[in-house]
A and B are shown apart, each in its own frame.
Chain A
């Protein structure tokens, strides 16, 4: 085998190895397709849920994150919540109901094309703060709003 051929084959093998490594997630690009954060959904405190979903429970309260939700929820089973994060590079957002047995309701991974905006409807067991977080530039920003609930929505 000539030297050139050996080098060529070595190069091909190296590319193959890199390919396998990327596949195995070892050389993952910055925006990794994460799996569902199951432990976050089982957490019984906002702190534990935060650590499991955004990696930290240290958040900075920010006026750039807004939680729009009714002051009083007619029906705790269907509470509309809209979260906007006026931040550059929002990668992830999450919505918690502080006094729900498992506070995390949902988390969202956003591509660079997506805006820091999500709207949905959640169940609240009783009057509680709704807490929204947005992760951008390595930091986690938060905002909260109290929603009064007259008829609880967790099925109890």
Chain B
């Protein structure tokens, strides 16, 4: 299965900047299906975790007000080029995905 996450981690002056784009509908549950008139059920990422060296660096708790195909960027110290950063997400329907990249 193709990954839903595009991610880049770049180190400069001791700070690693992580930028990630996730493919996800982020449905609020308020939108109506134009054909049926019924509300499209809420389907959104509830949690995003960034890890480095096996430790959580950042945990994001998201609600449906985060935009569709969500973007996130965060920064941390102590990462070196070549080391791995992992980003994982899970949503309110129990789906999830994860990706690991090397810091460049």
Contacts and interface: CB of A to CB of B under 8 A. Distances in A.
B65 A122 contact: yes
* Most chain B beta carbons < 10 A, residue from A114, A121, A122: A114
A119 B73 contact: yes
A123 B65 contact: yes
B75 interface: yes
A121 B70 contact: yes
Nearest to A108: B60
A111 B71 contact: no
Contacts of A115: 15, 74-77
Contact of B61 (A37, A77, A80, A123): A37
Given A106-B62, A113-B77, A115-B77, A120 B57 contact: no
A105 B57 CA distance: 20
B74 A118 contact: yes
Chain A interface, >50% SS class: strand
Nearest to A119: B73
Interface residues on B, range: 20 to 34
Nearest to B79: A113
A111 B85 CA distance: 14
Contacts, number: 107
A41 B70 CA distance: 17
A154 to B, nearest CB: 6
Contact of B76 (A79, A114, A155): A114
B93 to A, nearest CB: 15
Contacts of A78: 67-68
A154 B42 CA distance: 12
Contact of B58 (A102, A104, A109): A109
B57 A111 contact: yes
A156 B59 contact: no
A23 to B, nearest CB: 18
Contacts of A113: 52, 55, 57, 76-78
A76 to B, nearest CB: 10
* Most chain A beta carbons < 10 A, residue from B57, B61, B72: B61
Given A102-B65, A106-B62, 8 more contacts: A82-B73, A108-B61, A111-B55, A115-B75, A120-B71, A122-B65, A123-B28, A153-B67
8 contacts: A78-B67, A106-B65, A109-B61, A114-B57, A117-B73, A120-B72, A121-B70, A155-B31
Interface of A: 33, 36-37, 41, 77-80, 82, 97, 100, 102, 104-111, 113-115, 117-123, 153-156
